[in-house]
Structure 1
């Protein structure tokens, strides 16, 4: 028994060594195994045949025929030379047929592998090209599919350094239905012009470059933009490129790489401004999210020749189901919320918020203003504000700089973060007006003792930033943000007043997990940037509009107390609200119900209401207006 167990490993070792010699060894073993089976079975077939030959020679001839038939060797019988030549001819034919089948199989397998790896060309036309892969890809696909829902045929071509099948599975998991829009994934490098050619950028109506994130993310974006502009056939073609850099300092380089006509946004810049605006106006992020998606109201720029010669005040009242917010002059100049007496000239276009482009129609409704419901707001002298910033990331300095442009002299922002080396950075953040004083305190914002020691009741606004102490802003940062919000909610329960909190999240799915109150708001910057780029990809004229909206100067969206416009608890239509806002130099576009402020998905926001509908406002309700800063 022991001897048998010793022989078996040696036989296996010898067999393995012969197999390593390659194809000849494989053919040899296959032939031996086949012969060991075919020859005995052929002999048994002759023996089992009742009409078998009686002589040994004839029996051997029949066995040979059976063996030849199994091996496709023809089975010729004759002289040894004749048999040898027939075997040689049969072997040559067998080799040729086997080689042909092998080559065909290998070619088919290679083609299938190329297709599965996303190596084939995209022959779509008038499609949208998406270069790169990040969390931004899902809202981009979702919104493009929604925008093209009324199109018979539309497509999105994605090129990313990721497996094609994996991309398709991830998209199906996060965007289960894309309607009539076909999503085509290709594997390749977005910084390689040859790979970019595979998604046919020449025939695309727009090329969107996603933000990869990380320390070298902006450098990758610049390289991708250069690769697009240098790819064959793109040099002399008008570019409709869209990209978003993380650091505003890299925007000029990206714009230079993208060329004329491209739209390059700064994520940190826009996110910081939204955080500042939203911390002082809870609900503003919902307004922007609603305006940037294709599911509800959107921005439109449309001609209306019938309004030529009329004033902006008349235009405000000319639409029952659309809200006018400005004008786009014939020379391309944009004027949001211009003075009421501004004249509309031939070739000017109306900038409006509406459900769809076919709902921007002049109304023949005979409206009547309830003058008794209109009020003049009491003057409120500007007072210093106290703001608390919990956490720190690369956007924090921009938030402080932007906040300085809004607050009154003597205002204070206290920053609490884990890194002691930030103390000097906080004190030296550039502040143009110098109205804001910044102070720093060391502490972990997820610790309840740290938060209890901050005298939260003394602050007018609280900002919770997505902490990037570990170098990235991702799932771990959102976990810390959610813990901080829970701690704040627990402490605020004993304060006797609402604590206005705006929190920054990196993943929109975490918004559903966050504790919500009527004074809370959330900024998901990656999602908002994705929505913004999608809007511009569909209508490049919106690029100037968004550039105008997301800057500190000029008009922007505000949520102001309803009591500053109309008498509370009095029934009226929205025409009266629009007229009251106009008298103050504002353009009314909606309202917010305090009683619905904690109810998703709109959190009390009602944009572009039908002006003929009856409504009344209560204490704490707001009117949403376009107004100067």
Structure 2
């Protein structure tokens, strides 16, 4: 059906209105000129003015622009003249009102545009964080803490409104004056949009933890930009969940991309933490920036010493490795000699904290570590792609594993993994584990319970399922006076606030740990091999070793404890109290530490 004149007029008017401020002003100017011309014609046609047309036009223009109402005596008191001029004044009032409205809207839009910070970032040596999730602030907080007292610029780019990001960050993070945070609303999957945060002049680009496919898309967009610039020093770090999404090594090397496979890392932490309560907290403290940190530094007069001598003499810092000819060696061995030009990797509060103490290193105690934990029973509840790693990484003292809530399609895979461990019994529970009766029965049979997150569910739903299971097991433990501990995998750190702290509880929140690891890469990129080794399944790992298993009970100095640890090729980082689960890192060399046999040494060890 042919559109009516009214419909065409409405469509034309809508089209004009949608074209923005400049078109609206142009339209208003045309309407004003037409209005002035109409008033001029009426005044001349009806003989209300004896002046020439130009003067009449100017008077009409002045009346409309000023919205001036005529006096009764004007125009010899003619009613027609007064009506025409009154109409002119009303038209002028309407035009002025509309013009003010247009300018007000334009100014508001401009101010909103400024709030959205759409201009290109003109910074150098800044850290870029691509991606923002409200409620998840660990990565930003750790990058801020890593700055210390140094001036640092952080640029956060996301499809979230800049104003919304700014409010969320400053409401939840204490940002010091030496740290400047810039926010940009961009499409993090579009290379052209990412250019607004100036990746070519940055020092490090961190891709905030997100879905693997999204992470890879962002990596591709960023690497495309970096490859087209002359800056070869820009580093890119990201975390992926699955092995199949690891960036190929040749491409990663060409684009300075570092990826860490997180599901395996989280699974390993779950496996070890389930029998070493407090280890997950130790992981968080080791990788956070609000205490001791990993640094590479030069120790005065260290050249010529063996690694053992350095360990037994270094105060206010713990040596954990060396950088020799560009190669990182973690816990290199007691007899390795430190050469000129070698950098020492230390765990300390400041890069230059460590000093060589003039202390006697003779006749220090040594002791062989022998684990006293045997025949432990663990329950694994739930199944995800990390199950295999969790099962394989469990310590040797686990003699029996009971698994529950296993999908029927995965039972063969579970039994295949278990078949590799002949000395470890496995039982698959067929009953519904969420029934209180079945939970109670299981709780009475085990020493440790591991709750795996369901990766097929939404993160929130998976965390809520874990929270309900935690609460039920806690209730059972309290009512029956049981001693089992729980290690739970959580997707979001924010959800940990919904459940109170518990002395028999370890949490491994993937979003939290992911952010800690990314922040470490941004600040200590040269130590990437150290970080990867600690997180990997091979090499030195963070462990808790009970004091009684070294024959330790009573007062020892830090130097003596280092000597005992080193005699087993362990690096002592600190100790953990078994009654409070409070950890102490990097104690002074001569501090006297009173350890109970159930207390634990926090060490880097290969086994």
Q: If the length of structure 2 is used for normalisation, what is the TM-score?
A: 0.80
**1:299/1:73 CA distance change after superposition, 3 Å:** closer
The DSSP-based 3-state class of the residue aligned with 1:288 is helix
- Tell me which residue corresponds to 1:467: 454
Q: Secondary structure at the match of 1:585?
A: coil
Give the Cα separation in 2 of the matches to 1:280 and 1:627: 16
Which of residues 583, 586, 595 is equivalent to 1:608? Answer: 586
Deviates more, 1:430-439 or 1:555-564: 430-439
> Is the Cα–Cα contact under 8 Å of residues 393 and 466 in structure 1 kept in the other structure?
yes
Does 2:343 correspond to 1:349? yes
**Residue in structure 2 matched with residue 163 of structure 1 by the alignment:** 161
- CA, structure 1 residues 382+452, in 2 after alignment: closer, same or farther (shift >3 Å)? closer
Q: Tell me: CA distance 1:17–1:100, structure 2 relative to 1, closer, same or farther (3 Å).
A: closer
Distance in 1, matches of 2:125 and 2:28, equals 54
Query: Which one is further off, 101-110 or 115-124?
Result: 101-110
Partner of 1:558: 543
- Cα distance between partner residues in 2 of 1:271 and 1:528: 8
Task: Report the Cα distance in structure 2 between the residues aligned to 1:348 and 1:527, rounded to whole angstroms.
Answer: 34
Structure 1 counterpart of 2:118: 119
Closer, same or farther: CA 233–326 of 1 in aligned 2, 3 Å? closer
**Secondary structure in structure 1 of the residue aligned to 2:400:** strand
Task: Name the CA distance, whole Å, in 1 between partners of 2:254 and 2:99.
Answer: 52
Q: Which residues in structure 2 correspond to 1:485-504 (within 5 Å)?
A: 485-493=470-478, 498-504=483-489
Q: Does 1:577 align with 2:575?
A: no
Tell me whether 1:595 sits opposite 2:579 in the alignment.
yes
**Could you say what secondary structure the match of 1:340 adopts?**
coil
| Residue 224 of structure 2 corresponds to residue 230 of structure 1 | yes
Give the 3 Å change call, closer, same or farther, for CA 69–336 of structure 1 in structure 2.
same
Query: Which residue is 2:505 aligned to?
Result: 520
How far residue 268 of structure 1 moved from its aligned partner, in angstroms, is 0.5
- Counterpart check, 1:331 vs 2:326: yes
Distance 1:233 1:96, change over 3 A: farther
Q: Aligned in 2, Cα 1:261/1:231: closer, same or farther, shift over 3 Å?
A: closer
Matched-pair contact (CA < 8 Å) for 2:187–2:194 = yes
1:41 is matched with which residue?
Answer: none
- Whether the 8 Å contact between 2:380 and 2:452 is mirrored in structure 1 is yes
| 1:32-71 deviation digits (Å, cap 9, x = unpaired) | xx99xxxxxxxxxxxxxxxxxxxx999xx9xx98995564
* 2:573 and 2:585 in contact (8 A); partners too: yes
Shift in Å at residue 289 of structure 1? 0.7
* Runs of at least 5 residues in structure 1 that lack an aligned partner in the other structure: 1-14, 36-55, 79-89, 598-603
Contact (CA 8 Å) 1:370, 1:576: kept in 2 or not?
no
How far does the alpha carbon of each residue in 1:338-363 deviate from its partner, in whole angstroms, 9 at most, with x for none? 32122112222212110111312333
1:190 counterpart = 2:188: yes
- The residue correspondences of 1:64-143 to structure 2 (distance < 5 A) are 69=63, 71-72=65-66, 108-134=107-133, 138-143=137-142
2:315 aligned counterpart, secondary structure: coil
Is the Cα contact below 8 Å between 2:403 and 2:429 reproduced in 1? yes
- Mark the CA change 1:348 to 1:378 in structure 2 (over 3 Å): closer, same or farther: closer
Going from structure 1 to structure 2, the CA distance change for 1:430 and 1:458 (only over 3 Å counts) comes to closer
The whole-number CA distance in structure 2 between the counterparts of 1:57 and 1:377 is 116
Query: CA separation in 2, counterparts of 1:193 and 1:21?
Result: 37
CA deviations on 1:201-240 (whole Å, 9 max, x unpaired) are 011110011222xxxx222211211111222774443240
- 2:21 corresponds in structure 1 to none
Does the 8 Å contact 2:152/2:179 carry over to 1?
Answer: yes
2:246 corresponds to which residue?
251
SS of 2:247 mapped into structure 1:
helix
Alignment of 1:268-279 (within 5 A): 268-279=263-274
Give the deviation of 1:428 after TM superposition. 3.0
Pairwise CA distance, 1:565: 3.4
- From the superposition, tell whether residues 425 and 179 of structure 1 become closer, same or farther in structure 2 (CA, over 3 Å): farther
User: Is the partner of 2:313 in helix, strand or coil?
Assistant: coil
Specify the SS of the correspondent of 2:334. coil
Q: Secondary structure at the match of 2:153?
A: strand
| Cα deviation code 1:435-472 (max 9, x no counterpart) | 55544324444432121122x34434321122345x22
Query: Displacement, 1:95?
Result: 13
Judging changes above 3 Å, is the alpha-carbon distance between structure 1 residues 133 and 609 closer, same or farther for their aligned structure 2 residues?
same
Determine whether 1:536 maps to 2:521: yes
* Worse-superposed segment, 254-263 or 412-421: 254-263
User: Deviations along 1:92-120, whole A, 9 cap, x unmatched?
Assistant: x9999999989876765554343334422
- Equivalent position of 2:200 in the other structure: 202
8 Å contact from structure 1 (residues 226, 258) kept in 2: no
* Structure 1 range deviating more: 298-307 or 123-132: 298-307
Q: Distance in 1 between matches of 2:514 and 2:466?
A: 20
Cα separation, partners in 2 of 1:65 and 1:557, compared to 1, 3 Å: closer
Change (3 A) 1:377 1:162: same
Q: Matched residues in 1 for 2:536 and 2:420: separation?
A: 15
Matched, 1:395 2:399: no
Partner SS, residue 185 of structure 1 = strand
Post-superposition offset of 1:497: 5.5
1:308 aligns with 2:303: yes
User: Does the Cα contact within 8 Å between 2:227 and 2:255 map onto a contact in 1?
Assistant: no
Do 1:131 and 1:210's aligned partners in 2 also have CA atoms closer than 8 Å? yes
Equivalence for 1:441: 429
RMSD: 4.3
The gaps in structure 2 that reach 5 residues or longer are 1-5, 18-26, 37-47, 76-88
Contact in 1 for aligned 2:131/2:156 (Cα 8 Å)? yes
Kept after mapping to 2: 8 A contact 1:139/1:527: yes
Partner of residue 413, structure 2: 425
Contact 1:202–1:233 (8 Å) recurs in 2: no
Distance in 2 between residues matched to 1:622 and 1:533, nearest whole Å: 28
Distance 1:254 1:171, change over 3 A: farther
| C-alpha contact 2:297 2:343 (8 A) present in aligned 1 | yes
Superposition map of 1:145-184 within 5 A: 145-151=144-150, 153-184=151-182
Do structure 1's residue 407 and structure 2's residue 402 form an aligned pair?
no
- TM-score w.r.t. length of structure 1: 0.77
1:293 partnered with 2:288: yes
Question: 2: distance between equivalents of 1:592 and 1:484?
Answer: 27
Contact 1:120 1:198 in 2 (8 A): yes
Q: CA shift at 1:192, angstroms?
A: 0.6
Q: Secondary structure at the match of 1:307?
A: coil
